Amino acid sequence: MSFLNLENKRILVMGVANRKSVAWATTKALEEAGAEVIHSVRSEARLESLQKLLGDRKAYICDVELPEQITALAEQVKADYGALDGIVHSIAFANYSEGFKPFHETVRKDFLQATSISAFSLVEVANAFKPILNEEASVVSIGISSTDVTAENYGYMAPIKAALETCSYNLAKSFGADTRVRFNTVNAGPLKTSASAGIPGYLESYLYAEKLTFRKQNLTTQEVANTAVFLLSSASSGINGQGIVVNAGMDRNYFDKEVVRLAMRPE
């Protein structure tokens, strides 16, 4: 038995977008630890685009914006596998239908849609899969480490990611009434992903974040995935209802002398 004890465990990973995504890095790390990974993706088109990447891995289609598809996914997994040892929720979506705006101008329908997909879907997934989660299963969501920081170029997603964290904590309490299923979030610092590439000004924020890390090197997707794998394993059995910050110390280094020097440099 290994330290992680993930051999022959079955994990559902939701949200693989491409080979740069946290979900894919988590898949590879789980498989290296001996786990069997199955997937769900949002559409037939996404599944086709991932065909080469996923190979012969089992993959289902589930658009979490549609509750009936979540229910159907749970039923399909139950029919095919019977039970799960864990779920990775790596799903986020934001439709800036009118472009990026100041937060007070957020479009209601965009905010509600993004909340439904990025946060409340965790609740619906947990509810649908509760009957087939093994007694000590683990559910891990991928969040961000800066939900309490205002970032102009992140729009309304920071409060929605905060909602995801809160949903996770409350699910831990709710499930705790009659199971030992755990819920935790991995709160990651800025990453180089395909999704982040579409955020205006993200590169500047990414480079700034790097200067704030203690090691002067930004987080890697693999480091986030490794934390998720640890939380899925029995090695983390004492961790429940938590948000694990993984950002190389970025949030502890606001007064780094180099950053202060650059900020105070005369125009």
- Residues annotated in the binding site for substrate, as ranges? 94
CA distance 120 to 73: 16
> Among residues 182, 183, 178, 180, which one has the least CA distance to residue 167?
183
For residues 41 and 47, the answer to whether their CB atoms sit within 8 Å is yes
Binding-site residue positions for NAD(+): 15, 63-64, 91, 161
**Residue in the block written with tokens 């965790």:** 122
Asked if residue 232 lies in contact with residue 138, where contact means CB atoms within 8 angstroms, the answer is yes
Binding positions are 15, 63-64, 91, 94, 161
Strand partners, 61: 41
What the block records as the tokens of 162 is: 């905060």
- Count of residues for the chain? 267
